[in-house]
Amino acid sequence: MARVLVVGAGLTGSLCAALLRRQTSGPLYLAVWDKAEDSGGRMTTASSPHNPQCTADLGAQYITCTPHYAKTHQSFYDELLAHDILRPLTSPIEGMVMKEGDCNFVASQGISSVIKHYLKESGAEVYFRHCVTQINLRNDKWEVSKQTGSPEQFDLIVLTMPVPQILQLQGDITNLISKCQRQQLEAVSYSARYALGLFYEAGTKIDVPWAGLYITGNPCIRFISIDNKKRNIESSEIGPSLVIHTTVPFGVTYLEHSIEDVQELIFQQLENILPGLPQPIATKCQKWRHSQVTNAAANCPGQMTLHRKPLLVCGGDGFTQSNFDGCITSALYVLEALKDYV
């Protein structure tokens, strides 16, 4: 039985796992490892510690589908709509730039429900707090070391974490990346930003006419979402949640500052934009060191194969672009690279 490891439980990793399971007829051991405490990657949904039903999308806010991808990726959208994971975005988002023919979707149960759907479909053994540190060759297999626990062996590896994290891996992998590939990988760049989730008591009123608001001219805040309203969830039992995304310049400037200091700066600016907001009962501040790809890997559409026997493939938005369809595109290219090996 082939042993396959997918590193990264974000959109590309979870979809790779689901597609691999669907297209493999024989027995397959499939594991997904992620260094975080839950799945989602940059499509993560946080919960209030006081009420797990009060949630906030700290990463991707909604999914925009262009006419081109509505055709080429139709089966993916149809599946998620049929399972009621995605629904059309009907709430007002002020300042959103709409192009002709685009459709926007929200995930009513939180954006991470997309990832959870694909992981469930994959039947993979999913492990969290598994931070890969080394990848070595051992007798035509991969030996993968993590921060805690014993190394494990696999026949095939798919790496879907942000490209700088691939370049940080130790072991034989450092010598297997060719000079040309290393240059391509080192040229991949990302923007950085913070997201702040605020959770409120049930019955709290946040009286604004929009569900989302793009802000121009503020040095700190770029986007605010009344997250439950964005997803059309208004309930007397569940308090509202609010999400603030910072600007990229703010994210870059304060990247190495403490979360507490950053949170305080965001609160100060928020008071200027929405004066008199009630006090939240819980907060969650998320640093996105690798928020969106600003420069993707050149001349390697969708994936990069680092080694063939045994196979080691990299995928993710670093090889396409930072959106839902970019991740689907990468997963399809990765699957094409795997098809002769499983």
Q: What is the pTM of this model?
A: 0.96
pLDDT tens profile 131-167: 999 999 999 999 999 999 999 999 999 999 999 999 9
CA dihedral defined by 111, 113, 114, 120, rounded to 10 degrees?
160
- Report d(CA 14, CA 316) in Å as an integer: 11
Q: What is the pLDDT of residue 98?
A: 87
Question: Considering only CA atoms, which of 122, 157, 131, 162 is closest in space to residue 10?
Answer: 162
Q: What is the pLDDT of residue 213?
A: 97
Write out the residue limits of the CATH 3.50.50.60 domain(s) in the chain.
Answer: 1-37+128-188+298-341
The string of DSSP codes covering 125-152 is EEESS--EEEEEEETTEEEEEESSS--E
Is the domain defined by 1-37+128-188+298-341 classed in CATH 1.20.1740.10?
A: no
Amino acid letter, 141: K
Classified as helix, coil or strand, 281 is: coil
Write out the residue limits of the CATH 3.90.660.10 domain(s) in the chain.
Answer: 47-110+189-295
* Tens place of pLDDT per residue across the chain (342 aa): 899 999 999 999 999 999 999 999 889 999 999 999 999 999 999 999 999 999 999 999 999 999 999 999 999 999 999 999 999 999 999 999 989 999 999 999 999 999 999 999 999 999 999 999 999 999 999 999 999 999 999 999 999 999 999 999 999 999 999 999 999 999 999 999 999 999 999 999 999 999 999 999 999 999 999 999 999 988 888 999 999 999 999 999 999 999 999 999 999 999 999 999 999 999 999 999 999 999 999 988 999 999 999 999 999 999 999 999 999 999 999 999 999 888
Q: What is the CATH topology of the domain spanning 47-110+189-295?
A: Polyamine Oxidase; Chain A, domain 2 (3.90.660)
Main-chain dihedrals φ then ψ at residue 240, nearest 5 degrees: -70, 160
- Report d(CA 37, CA 84) in Å as an integer: 25
Amino acid letter, 125: E
Give residues with Cβ within 8 angstroms of 257, minimum separation 6: none
**Beta carbons of 269 and 299 less than 8 angstroms apart:** no
Alpha helix stretches (DSSP H) within 1-137 = 11-23, 67-72, 74-82, 112-122
Q: What is the pLDDT of residue 25?
A: 84
| Strands 63-65, 221-226: pairing kind | unpaired
